[in-house]
Amino acid sequence: MLYDPVVFENLKVAFENQLYDLDNLDQRIVITSRTDILDMAVMSRRWSLGFMLPDREQSCAVKAEIILSTSIEDLSDELLERSGTNPACSLLLKFTGSVEQPTVDCPQIERVIEEAWNRDLIPVQRLTATFGDHAYPIEGAELWVPRYYENEILLPFNRRINEDQMEDLESLIEHTIRTLEALDKIML
């Protein structure tokens, strides 16, 4: 009996092949992280591969991450070959970096993403700051202002993907790299 990989595995391998080639052969990106999680509590799968542009200091570089996930419903529909179902995966892009002036930088980031993707993909930007060395007090008050904010930009795709979109992965990765290059000019 032959093992037939599920949609999730096929997409994961296709992403990995292209991204590792861009790192090892073309040297256009540097892979910084990889996760492959099977959540036994809910029987879901989540895979991600993070990368940045080459020649950047790891600690302050803008990073991109491609995140692929699937649920037990999709896995069971595919493995049990249920009729009328269309097993697929969810796709999320995540960019992280720092900004100094959120009221200026965040609208610029949103424009960059809108121009790069030409779609109705609305980014979610989450700003965080850590109290300590990277903060300064406001004179005469017990308040502090961060010198910079960590910005996590989430770009969820409003449609699920399967093997029918396999040919689109190269274009998706290229758009992700172009977005990373544009964000690298705005973010710290």
pLDDT in tens, 64-82: 999 999 999 988 888 888 8
| pTM to 2 decimal places | 0.91
Q: How far is it between the farthest Cα atoms of the chain?
A: 75
Q: Is the pLDDT of residue 89 over 60?
A: yes
Residue 78's pLDDT is 81
> How does DSSP assign 131-155, residue by residue?
SSTTEEEPTTSS-EEES-EEEEEEE
Question: For residues 157 and 15, what is the distance between their CA atoms, to the nearest angstrom?
Answer: 16
Is 8's pLDDT higher than 50?
Answer: yes
Higher pLDDT, 121 or 129: 129
In this prediction, residue 3 carries a pLDDT of 61
CA pair distance 176, 55, nearest whole angstrom: 18
| 8 A C-beta contact, residue 100 and residue 147 | yes
Residue 187 has what pLDDT?
92
Task: Yes or no: say if 188 and 60 are a contact pair by the CB < 8 Å rule.
Answer: yes
Domain boundaries, the chain: 7-59+68-186
User: Is residue 1 very low, low, confident or very high in pLDDT (cuts 50, 70, 90)?
Assistant: very low
Number of H helices, E strands in the chain: 4, 8
Residues 14-33, mean pLDDT to the nearest whole number: 97
pLDDT at 23: 97
11 pLDDT higher than 60: yes
Name residues whose C-beta falls within 8 Å of residue 65's C-beta, 6 or more positions apart in sequence: 33, 48, 49, 50, 51, 93, 94, 95, 96
pLDDT in tens, 23-32: 999 999 999 9
User: pLDDT exceeding 90 applies to what percent of the chain?
Assistant: 66
